[in-house]
Amino acid sequence: MEFSQRQLHVSATGAELCLRHEPAVGEARGAVHILHGLAEHGERYASFARTLSEAGFHVYAHDHRGHGYTVAPGAPAGVFDTGGHGVEVVLNDVASVQDKIAAEHPDLPLVLFGHSMGGIIAMTYCLRFPDRLSAAAIWNANLTTEPLFHAGKLVIAWERFRLGSDVPSVLMPKLTFGAWAKAVKNRRTEFDWLSRDPAIVDAYIADPLCGWPASVGMWADLFRLVSAGTDVASASDAARRLPYNLVGGGADPSTAFGKNVKAQAERMRKAGFSDVTLEIHPDFRHETLNEMGREVAVEALLGWLRAKLPARAA
């Protein structure tokens, strides 16, 4: 399945973003902006987008810098920005897409949905620009402050010193994708940690736009985004008032089997975030949207959206 529309959107940063759109079926009740994960692209969310559109949502999904079909200055494959401003330009690309959404649908509430790396970006975006949003769904995002996170930052600092920023990391794929693969018993492939559905895993492996090694600089930017996304104690009142939907998998090694998702929800609640919904699906691995039984998770999300974004009065 593919998005029904695909276009080029020139961001204020100069990036030529590959932007996909699935129009709402019938009367629209809102818009959803999807942020994809690391080493993948927006087209993988086409089925999810179709479900959302049939529920009355306009859906948009762009390829981040260094991913998919997006082309940007200083952002070859696997790199956010060779100039050292990766976090800022990625967030500004998100804002630029939302400027377009707001121009096309000025009266509709906007929901930000992020998976994995996209969830980390989304969380940071919510803390910086909460007034742009009506709600946010943060799924399968490894927002952690655990010792392994700090060890990873040291590894990247060492690689940056030895190798530079704009070359693929040698160690991080082993410490992340490789370690997560080993955590799955009786695995068939090195990407079984993504999903129990073999068709999904095989499609990911066969996709030339998936599974590539990120640069040292991109990993460094991800660590900065995680630090920003877990710094909820300093959040504004507007960020604390947003409704958040946090979802994880109890069999997802990338989030310590859902523990890091729970920890982020607890951090937010302790910091005074007033509307945090948490759901951990016990048997799900990393890609909730591509797991066996994903219909349950998607239906729960639709129920949450209906509750947080009531239908407009006639």
Return mean pLDDT, the chain: 96
Share of the chain above pLDDT 90, in %: 96
Residue 139, by phi and psi: left (phi above 0), alpha (psi -120 to 50) or beta?
A: beta
pLDDT digits (tens, 9 = 90+) for 203-248: 999 999 999 999 999 999 999 999 999 999 999 999 999 999 999 9
Instruction: Give domain limits for the chain.
Output: 5-308
SS3 per residue for 43-90: HHHHHHHHHHHHCCEEEEEECCCCCCCCECCCCCCCCCCCCCCHHHHH
C-alpha torsion sign, points 133, 297, 87, 227:
positive
- Does the global pTM surpass 0.85? yes
Domain 5-308 belongs to what topology?
Rossmann fold (3.40.50)
Phi, psi of 128 (to 5 degrees): -90, -35
How many Å apart are CA 218 and CA 123, to the nearest integer? 17
Residue 310's pLDDT is 73
